[in-house]
Amino acid sequence: MFNAKVKSDVLKGIIDVTSPLVNEAKFNVTSKGISLRAVDPAHVAMVDLEIKSKAFEEYKADEMELGIDLDKFSGIMRLANSGDMISLEYDEDANRLIIKIGNLVRKMGLIDTAGMPDSKAPNLTLPAKIIIKASELSQGVRASEAVSDHLTLSVDKDTFELFAEGDTDTVHLKLPKDMLVELTTQGKHKSLFSIDYFSNMIKSVKGDDPITISMGTDNPIKVDFDFADKKGHVSYLLAPRIESD
């Protein structure tokens, strides 16, 4: 059994943080909420998402897996306006999700989850942690997209920096510790990452909302933030690009 009512913005939030990495996802449903963990086809990035049952207006569920085509689901959610209440019901006999938006009923066939892998999160110990306002980070990333396809993030005890270099142009964002929400690090660290992946990971976070970055030197980066009024949480992992000598 799965029956829920939820505001459209919550579902759109789930789609926004998941669809940049994967087209299909296995949602693990329990009585306490919904989670998913998925790796992109290139095995460069992972998304780990949890949303609590209290993010829903109504929520009743048994333990189950729902295989969802995110492109199709996103198309359905474009029919809903911000603030619309969405009803969700699982039709076990037909293996379909029944989605009600106002007077509209849309029945969406689900994907067989038998062939969908269970991704495991690596156990990482990352020595630096930065908490930054989304607007500060987004400005640097947007500027970098115009000059390069990769960016360098670096941190020491006093400063967090973002740097991108193209053929002729460069971008440099330097934020001292007192302009960050938090900065803790063991020494100096620097890593290189794909701008496309990194930009997709942070683009759904707005304004002064905090983003937590955990990093090391030539290690994967971990990006964490809350959504759905702090009733949902997302963690991304992104593999570094290793510069050849």
What is 115-137 written as a DSSP string? GS----------SEEEEEEHHHH
Provide the pLDDT for residue 116.
84
Residue 175 bridge partners (DSSP):
160
Task: Write down the mean pLDDT value for the chain.
Answer: 94
Provide the pLDDT for residue 243.
65
Q: Which two tokens stand for residue 183?
A: 């900065």
Q: Set out the domains of the chain in order of their start, with CATH numbers.
A: 2-113 (3.10.150.10), 128-238 (3.70.10.10)
pTM of the model: 0.92
The string of pLDDT tens digits covering residues 202-238 is: 998 989 999 999 999 999 999 999 999 999 999 999 9
Instruction: List C-alpha distances in Å: 121 to 48, 64, 118, 130, 187.
Output: 8, 21, 10, 21, 25
DSSP letter (8 states) at residue 240:
P
Q: What is the mean pLDDT of residues 130-156?
A: 95
Residue 245 pLDDT greater than 50, yes or no: no
Rounded CA gap, 130 and 140, in Å? 15
Residue 108 pLDDT greater than 70, yes or no: yes
Provide the pLDDT for residue 130.
98
Q: What is the mean pLDDT of residues 21-33?
A: 95
Report the Cα–Cα distance between both ends of the chain, in Å, rounded.
Answer: 56
The string of pLDDT tens digits covering residues 198-210 is: 999 999 898 999 9
Q: Which amino acid is at 153?
A: L
* Short-list 73, 13, 81, CA closest to 232: 13
pLDDT bucket at 124, cuts 50 / 70 / 90: confident
